[in-house]
Amino acid sequence: MNFDLFEHRLLRDGYSEKPMTFLDPEPNAMLSAVTGIALIETGSRSARERWQTIQLRNLINHVSQRSAFWRARIGSRKPSDVDLARLPILTRQDLRTQVASEGSLLRAADGFSINSHATSGSSGVPVNFFVSGFNANYNFVRNLAQYFLEGRDLTLNRTRLVDAGEADSSLVTKEQSWIGALSSFFKSGKSKEIKCFNLRGDESRRVVDELKKDDVGYLVAAPWHMNAISSSIDLDFLKPAKTEMWVPFGAEIEPKLAQTFADLAIPVRANYSSSEVGLIGAACNEFSGHYHVATSNVMVEVVDRRFEINGVSLGKVLITHLHSYATPFIRYDLDDLACLREKCPCGHDGPTIYNLQGRARSVVKHRDGRLSLFFPGQALAALTDFSEYRMRQTAIDKIVVELGGRSELNADEIAAITTCLQGFTGPNFNFEVKACEQIDWGQSRKRPGFRCEI
């Protein structure tokens, strides 16, 4: 933990001017929340585990009172007697059933705003659910808390790339600060949001030109954004644009892209999160591939360790969201594969996820039962031009490849692509390579390069 407030630049007029008051209410509440998160996640293990047990009991009591669906799952046990590990696993279909039959378990009289939300759709059709205003506020504060926990410089800018369906007049949005209510107390950098459409040709150059106009600072962008830009423009421009860190989201990072950022000496912090529950784990800044569990938000289990990738035994990740009072997520199966340990090798005294392989649907299934990773994007980009790609394993020996931004592919291109991809999967796969002007991503907000559909 690196939580030294004196490292951050305080504004001269940041303290309250009211009698018998140190800070004004809004920055005081936010700073209190940030401090509370830091204390829970980096303080006493016994105190943290006691707090989690009480919060779980509160959640179980809530769902027992308001949900027939959850009463059937919990049985006759009292909330204080519930053993989390003995509760049934919550699947996406279970989630759909509960939401369709009961709606939100929070009511207007509870004093919280209630909003509908949905998953990204990366595993198929998006799943709808409900969240409270507390959830949205927590997600913002928890993201900000990571900057304090790591001692990151708040005075750097924060630049975010976001997907947009079609062009409009608001291509770039700027704000004077990105730290919310704390902007009246701490000096911070500026916020910029750049809308991305089809990142090819002129569109990539537009985004790159916009990135060059101001210091980038913290770059918040999905791997598919960086892959698309790098297919036509060298990412070396990020260094003179003063990119201090890349914070990716939404998908796994291909090894070659990770190496590109390593060569540029730009650190990467790929936190582990989901649409359903928010932050699950924050990347360790000492041991790559390790994620300190956001214990102020979730409890994590890894079960059914029968999956093997590259000789490593992995299990399914189950998440219990301690603040999920609108739509409960208790032992929810994210369909992710990983390992879990009680402490991080860096010394962090809290549960740590490692060997995270993303969705179980993001690995190739072989006829002999093996699973393997599949990150061919940059290798493809070196062979031919395209704006985006999608690969789907539709049978045990078949993978369909779609290359966007192309009206046709010649025989030599198809042969080269097939040979390249078989170098990743082995020779026992048939590849159907198709050109398309634009890939139909359906309702998905994410754009996974590969998805297993069997």
- Averaged pLDDT in 10-residue chunks for the chain of 454 residues: 68 90 93 95 95 96 96 86 92 96 95 88 75 95 95 96 68 95 95 86 87 97 89 92 94 86 95 93 93 98 86 91 98 93 96 83 80 77 82 91 89 90 87 88 71 83
Q: How far apart are CA 87 and CA 109, in angstroms?
A: 29
Contacts of residue 20, Cβ cutoff 8 Å, sequence gap at least 6: none
Q: How far apart are CA 431 and CA 419, in angstroms?
A: 9
Residue-wise burial string across 168-192, b where 16 or more C-beta atoms lie within 10 A, e elsewhere: eeeeeeeeebbbbbbbbbbebbbbb
Measured in Å, how far apart are the chain's first and last C-alpha atoms? 43
Q: How far apart are CA 62 and CA 74, in angstroms?
A: 12
Q: How far apart are CA 92 and CA 98, in angstroms?
A: 10
Q: How far apart are CA 319 and CA 297, in angstroms?
A: 10
Model's pTM, two decimal places?
0.83
CB 283 within 8 A of CB 270: yes
* CA-wise closest residue to 449 among 254, 199, 220: 254
- pLDDT, position 444: 60
- In CATH terms, 364-452 corresponds, of 1.25.10, 3.30.300, 2.60.40, 3.40.190, to 3.30.300
Q: Is 40 helix (H, G, I), strand (E, B) or coil?
A: helix
The three state secondary structure string of 358-408 is: CEHHHCEECCCCCEECCCCHHHHHCCCCCCEEEEEEEECCEEEEEEECCCC
Q: How far apart are CA 300 and CA 363, in angstroms?
A: 22
Question: Could you tell me the residue ranges of all domains in the chain?
Answer: 364-452
CB 358 within 8 A of CB 252: yes
CB 281 within 8 A of CB 289: no
